[in-house]
């Protein structure tokens, strides 16, 4: 893909932290990157113009504004927003991708609305059955891609096969791992373990081992032991898993802080160890990646966290540029077509499943 002419549409209105934080993240890109991408800022034109002026970016030839009069809130129902908020910043940004005026969208807004709107407006890649939402999970000395984390809760075996292909390509781009190891998450590593769905998906994945580096079945305790680079599951398991990880991390952080502050000696020890604490914090910093791609659609749809700060937005934009440079959708489409042929799958138009998350 020619990234000099390609454009990124950014929904600047959906963030919990407000439009200013999004604009400051965009400003970081233009201040720190020699080749900043072409961006279309979608939202309230007056507010966007004021902040562009504040950031000394007003009049920049790589930045344009697309006005949208409505905003989708976190409380809005996904299916209703598509019909009732057609002039929202999120829907207008998706319309730009659909029309070919932009090649990707970045939004911090309502996850369900973005998934529903993206699936309905952009439709699936020709060889992919359902989209998947992925994220990068940090660990002690490595990271791994987890896919799916909520886009398709009721997956079929073919969806898990496609998740493996999409996750492999995302891992190459996001983590720089040339031949990522792919594992299928289930309840045991022995042959025959798991549900009928996972057992069938396991057999299919073994059939396409020439397309991906499939290492077999994995259990939950394998995730943080550097056994795999891509963890494949359905959206039901993935969504529970990611929220459990986030909750556990917050709980551990709070307990650790409380214990360190209980007496003077612990406070002194904490002060001496401040360098180690900072290193741990950086290792598990979610802002390093700052995005969760909704992959498998005819256009790049990227979800950033509702509370993403300027650093997260900065890193997300850099990764999106990389995804566009490598034309990841074309690679996914080609490999999925080969996989479908190997396992004898014929793609059908199935009803679209959305989420109320």
List, for residues 203-255, the tens digit of each pLDDT value: 999 999 889 999 999 998 888 887 899 999 999 999 999 888 888 888 888 88
Domain 133-286, CATH: 3.40.718.10
- pTM of the full predicted structure? 0.86
Strands of the sheet with 63-67, listed across from one edge:
63-67, 38-43, 7-11, 104-107, 300-303, 292-295, 132-138, 143-147, 230-232, 181-185, 213-218
Counting DSSP H helices and E strands in the chain, the numbers are 12, 11
Task: Tell whether the model's pLDDT for residue 105 goes beyond 90.
Answer: yes
- Is the pLDDT at 25 greater than 60? The verdict is yes
Indicate where the chain has its CATH 3.40.718.10 domain(s).
Answer: 133-286
| Domain 1-131+296-357 in CATH 3.40.50 | yes
The pLDDT value given to residue 146: 94
Q: What is the pLDDT of residue 102?
A: 92
pLDDT band at 348 (very low <50, low <70, confident <90, very high): low
Measure the CA–CA gap between 112 and 226, rounded to whole angstroms.
31
Q: What pLDDT band is residue 191 in, cutting at 50, 70 and 90?
A: confident
> Where does CATH 3.40.50 sit in the chain?
1-131+296-357
């Amino acid at each position: 893909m020619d990234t000099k002419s390609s454009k990124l549409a950014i929904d600047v209105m959906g963030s919990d932290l407000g439009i200013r934080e999004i604009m400051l993240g965009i400003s970081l890109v233009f201040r720190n990157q020699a080749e900043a991408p072409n961006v279309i800022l979608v939202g309230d034109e007056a507010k966007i113009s004021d902040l562009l002026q504040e950031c000394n970016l007003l009049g920049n030839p790589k930045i344009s504004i697309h006005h949208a009069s409505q905003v989708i809130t976190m409380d809005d129902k996904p299916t209703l927003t598509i019909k009732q908020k057609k002039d929202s910043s999120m829907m207008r940004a998706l319309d730009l991708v659909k029309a070919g005026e932009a090649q990707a969208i970045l939004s911090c807004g309502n996850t369900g609305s973005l998934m529903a709107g993206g699936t309905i407006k952009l439709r699936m890649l020709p060889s992919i059955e359902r989209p998947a939402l992925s994220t990068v999970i940090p660990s002690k000395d490595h990271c791994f891609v987890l896919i799916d984390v909520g886009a398709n809760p009721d997956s079929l075996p073919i969806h898990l096969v496609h998740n493996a292909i999409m996750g492999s390509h995302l891992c190459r781009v996001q983590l720089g791992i040339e031949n990522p190891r792919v594992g299928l998450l289930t309840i045991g590593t022995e042959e025959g373990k798991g549900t009928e769905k996972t057992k069938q998906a396991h057999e299919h994945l073994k059939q396409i081992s020439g397309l991906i580096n499939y290492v077999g079945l994995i259990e939950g305790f394998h995730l943080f032991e550097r056994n795999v680079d891509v963890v494949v599951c359905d959206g039901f398991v993935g969504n529970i898993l990611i929220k459990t990880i986030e909750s556990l991390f917050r709980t551990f952080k709070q307990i650790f802080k409380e214990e360190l502050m209980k007496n003077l000696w612990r406070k002194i020890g904490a002060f001496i160890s401040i360098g180690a604490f900072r290193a741990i914090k950086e290792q598990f910093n979610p802002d390093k990646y700052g995005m969760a791609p909704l992959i498998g659609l005819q256009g790049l749809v990227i979800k950033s966290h509702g509370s993403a700060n300027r650093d997260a937005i900065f890193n997300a934009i850099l990764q999106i540029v990389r995804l566009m440079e490598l034309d990841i959708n074309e690679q996914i489409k080609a490999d999925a077509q080969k996989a479908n042929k190997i396992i004898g799958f014929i793609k059908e138009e199935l009803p679209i499943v959305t989420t109320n998350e």
